[in-house]
Amino acid sequence: MCSGARNCGKSTLALQIGHNRSARGLQGVIFTRDDRAGEGKLSSRLGLVTEAVEAAPGMDLYAYLVDQMSRGGKVDYVIVDEAQFLAPEQIDQLGRVVDDLDLDVFAFGITTDFRTKLFPGSQRLIELADRIETLQVEAMCWCGARATHNARTVGGEMVVEGEQVVVGDVNRPAEEIGYEVLCRRHHRRRMTSASAHAGSLSPDVLPVTPA
C-alpha cells in the first residue's frame, strides 16, 4: 500500500508503475473508484489519464480477475487507485488475489478523511498489507509546512461534518465543495488558505508583546 495526503502524486506513481510494467510486456488490470476524471478512469493532476475498471460497490474483485484469466486474459499485476473508497470485503478480496493467484497488487490511497478518521478500506489495507509506504513527495500546506491532513471546504471554509465520501478535488473553485491539504496545526484550527487570507506562503508568527 502507498499512502499520502491528497496532491502528493499517488495517481502519478500508479500510472508510472503501470507504464514501466507494460513496457516490459506485462499486462495488468487497473481498478479505481470515483476518479476525478470520471467512471472507469485513472487520472493524475499532471494531465495523464488511462482506462481503468470501476470497482463499483459490491463488485467482487477476486471473481472479476478469475473470470478474466479463465477467459484467456493475461493478468500479471493489479493496480488499485483510490483504494480508500473500497469496502473492507473488497480489500480482503485483494489479499486473496495476492495469496491465491500469486499476483502483485499495488494499492494507492489516502488513509484518513476530512475528519481525520480512517476510511474503512484504508483501515483494512493497513491490517492486511504486506508493506506500507508513505510517498516521499510532500504535499504542502498553504503556510509552507508539510501537509498531512485532508480538509473538505465549502466556499473556502473548512467543514467537519457530512458524508465521508464526496467526490471533489483540490483544484475546484472556492465556492464549490473541494479539498485542501493542510498541516495538522491549521487543520486543527480550521484555517484554510481562503479563511486565513493567505496570499503567499508564510508561516504563522508568535504574538509579540511590547516590553
133 assigned to active site: no
| Extended beta strands in 4-89, E state | 28-32, 41-43, 49-51, 53-54, 77-80
Residue from 25, 3, 26, 22 nearest 13 by CA: 3
Find the catalytic residue in 39, 51, 54, 82: 82
Strand partners, 106: 79
Strand partners, 105: 78
- C-alpha to C-alpha distance for 95 and 105, rounded to whole angstroms: 8
Kind of pairing between the strands at 41-43 and 49-51? antiparallel
Q: Known catalytic residues?
A: 82
